[in-house]
Amino acid sequence: MITLLLSSTGFFGFLSLFLVGALGSLLCMRRDALANYVGNSFAALGSLGALVFSFVALTSGRAPTFTLPAALPWLNFSIHIDPLSAFFMMVISLISVFCSIYALGYVRHFYGTYNIGSLGFFFNVFIASTLLVASAHNALLFLIVWELMALSSFFLVIYEHKQKENVEAGYLYFIMTHTGTAFILMSFLLLFRATGSFDFDTIRASGAMISPLMASLIFVSALIGFGIKTGIIPLHIWLPSAHPAAPSHVSAVMSGVMIKTGIYMLVRIGFDLLPHTQLWWGFLVITLGAVSSIFGVLYALAEHDIKRLLAYHSIENIGIIFLGLGSALVFAALNQPTLALLGLVAALFHTLNHAIFKALLFLAGGAAVGQVHTRNIERYGGLIRFMPVTALCFLIGAMAISGLPPFNGFFSEWLTFQALFVGAALSLPTKMLFVVAIAALAYTGGLAAACFVKAFGAIFLARPRSEAVSHAVEATFPMQFAMAMLASLTVIVGFCAGKISLMLAGVATSMQALSGAALPGHFILAEVSVREGFATLSMPAVLAVLLMALGAIGLLTAILSRKQCVTTGPTWDCGTALTPRMEITATGFSHSIIVVLRSVLRPTRQSAVEYHDAALRYFPKSRSVHFATPDVFLALYRPISRGMTRLSADVRRIQNGNVNAYILYIALTLLILLFILAW
């Protein structure tokens, strides 16, 4: 049974479900409802199949391998699902199962305005290609499915093409992702030059042929190329505009798992394919991680578009993953595979956790946006009364992403801290980098909590600040189901953290650089103990202590105040009529933090006053303050874009429409080629 499942039949079985979903929804595109059901239920089925496949592959310890020959030299359809691939496939399919189920309900509000058939087509292609990215074992095949993933997600980003900013976001994404592909191509070509092969197995086996300098070159170009996909600062500029532009269930897949394919390849290249791990690779990755986590969360705080806010939090969490990854690289370079394993397990665990809670938050946020029809959280308020289930799910996601116990986010942040603590005990210059990273991670946790108090408070609490909120109704059943499942996963994964760490250690030790290493300390369900009792933590105990404390206090108040009654009354209004305008807004909430950090964030502020008597200016009619925090990293790109524009203008000069000139160019090119050949 397992053999059949893990054969190419099983693999192409679930892939063909996506194909049926893609073509089926295209065929049914005249009937919106039918296209929705066909597209999304086959996506859900295919993801479910992929989930079973990858889970069995991961737990059975087998690594399914199959190759289909292709007509081109070097390119073969080589699939090899080792534990790392299986783990990433599992994360991808786990999230896409629930996102597809959610889509069954969510897509309904596009009926009549957009083409449901093409949405289903691109969504199926997108999930299938993302799964293929994680399983391809040949660089050329990888590039093909990578492009397929980039293109299908590009079409999903510009799906709501009637809004101009979505198309602009799509173009930015298109340009950035292809810049990334260029760097990825370069790193693969360099690998080919050194080892003479595009096949990952051959490259791994011929690591001795790669010189240290070449390894560094490959690593840096891979870091840039895959860094663009992960959205690490300063390569993130496409992410906060592209993720919000896509429909919410697509944003959840993009933010939850697509950007993780970059992490997957960085792990693959850094720990599996490349020899000669250098210390500075780790330092670079840690620095990028610290900068991304801090700036990601700060820009999220400044944001009041709910989906952009969540997108900036993805940057923050990728930063946290990079902190674990970077410390693993440092320890690998120091020849400490046990400690490197700790860092890598932390990074992989946070990858899993972030996928779960970020998808949950995008789905819950999307449900709210679908009812209130705006992404601006200043126009929400009090939604908890109209959408209680969505509110609860968002709250659980918010606590998990803020790293609060007993949810899953806490455990992976704790494990990342442990990896960084090891570095804090090293000798001096190295130590300070780790200590600064620890401080960055601590501040990130605090700021993320502040940001989610802001987001949850502004969306769900207090009184409605717009008419649309009071017409909102609870999300439909498929949407509620998907959100509730993901919300319970945050608790379950947190509870089983010890077991899951062990499983991830199995994944990480399948990497060449870490083979044979064992996790430092012991990891069981009841207790996780790192480095011979240096740090112990029991997630079940934390949950139990919290529940017992809640129970005890509930009992105490029930006994002490058994005779007291509760009456409802208006909020204290200082004697004036209470209006929604008196509540704190999201901008107001985060204003103090932004003002404190104004020297780095450089917020802009424009105020305008309109007068009844323009000449005398005694009686103001209206005042407005426009407060914005533009992304300072955009400034890095301005010289590049100006240079490109100038270069294009210069290049245009050679295109003068004169046929004789073109013939001259051809002749010159031929001459130069001849000279080169003769040399």
Instruction: Write the interaction track for another protein spanning residues 399-418; mark x where CB under 8 A is met and - where it is not.
Output: x--xxxx----x---x--x-
Six-digit token string for 476: 């439909």
List the 521-523 sheet strands across, edge first.
Answer: 521-523, 528-530, 535-537
Q: Which of residues 427-446 bind another protein (CB under 8 A)?
A: 428, 431-432, 435-436, 438-439, 442-443, 445-446
φ and ψ at residue 416, rounded to 5 degrees: -65, -45
Greatest Cα pair distance in the chain: 102
Q: Is 291 in the site for another protein (CB under 8 A)?
A: no
Rounded Cα gap, residues 639 and 323, in angstroms: 30
- Measure the CA–CA gap between 338 and 348, rounded to whole angstroms: 15
Restricting to residues 456-475, name those near another protein by CB under 8 A.
456-458, 460-463
Tell whether residue 206 is a contact of another protein (CB under 8 A).
Answer: no
Q: Give the span between the Cα atoms of 269 and 261, in whole angstroms.
A: 12
> What is the Cα–Cα distance from 50 to 56, expressed in whole angstroms?
10
Q: Which is nearer to another protein, 213 or 439 (CB)?
A: 439
Establish if 62 lies at the interface with another protein (CB under 8 A). Answer: no
The pair of structure tokens assigned to 454 is 């802001």
- Region of 13-21, 264-272, 396-404, 617-625 interacting with another protein (CB under 8 A): 396-404
Binding another protein by CB under 8 A: which of 335, 567, 604, 648? 567
| Residue 516 engages another protein in binding (rule: CB under 8 A) | no
Which one among 32, 199, 272, 583 touches another protein, defined by CB under 8 A? 583
Site for another protein contains 384 (CB under 8 A): yes
Q: Which stretch binds another protein (CB under 8 A): 250-258, 593-601, 609-617, 628-636?
A: 593-601
Does the protein bind another protein through residue 565 (CB under 8 A)?
A: yes
One of 553, 634, 635, 668 touching another protein (CB under 8 A): 553
Q: Are 66 and 8 in contact (CB under 8 A)?
A: yes
Instruction: By CB under 8 A, tell whether 354 contacts another protein.
Output: no
Q: 21 vs 457, which CB is nearer to another protein?
A: 457
Q: How far is the CB of 595 from another protein (least distance, A)?
A: 7
The residue range among 12-20, 137-145, 167-175, 381-389 that interacts with another protein, by the rule CB under 8 A, is 381-389
Cβ at position 338, least distance to another protein in Å:
17
Whole-number Å distance between alpha carbons of 59 and 418: 26
Single out the residue of 639, 638, 628 nearest to residue 601, CA to CA: 628
Residue 536 binds another protein, judged by CB under 8 A: yes
Residue (332 or 462) nearer to another protein, CB: 462
DSSP 275: -
Is residue 385 at the binding interface for another protein, with CB under 8 A as the rule?
Answer: yes
Tokens of 273: 């394919």
Nearer to another protein, 186 or 392 (CB): 392
502 binds another protein (CB under 8 A): no
Closer to another protein at the Cβ: 61 or 533? 533
Distance, in Å, from the CA atom of 394 to the CA atom of 367, rounded to the nearest integer, reads 10
| Pure H helices in 334-474 | 337-372, 388-401, 408-424, 428-460
First-to-last CA distance in the chain? 62
189 binds another protein (CB under 8 A): no
C-alpha dihedral, 106 to 107 to 110 to 112, nearest 10°: -130
The three state secondary structure string of 588-633 is HHHHHHHHHCHHHHCCEEEEEEEECCCCCCCCEEEEEEEEECCCCC
- Confirm or reject binding of residue 600 to another protein (CB under 8 A): no
Taking contact as CB under 8 A, which single stretch among the options 20-28, 134-142, 310-318, 525-533 is the one that binds another protein? 525-533
**Amino acid at site 261:** T
How far apart are CB 592 and another protein at their closest, in Å? 5
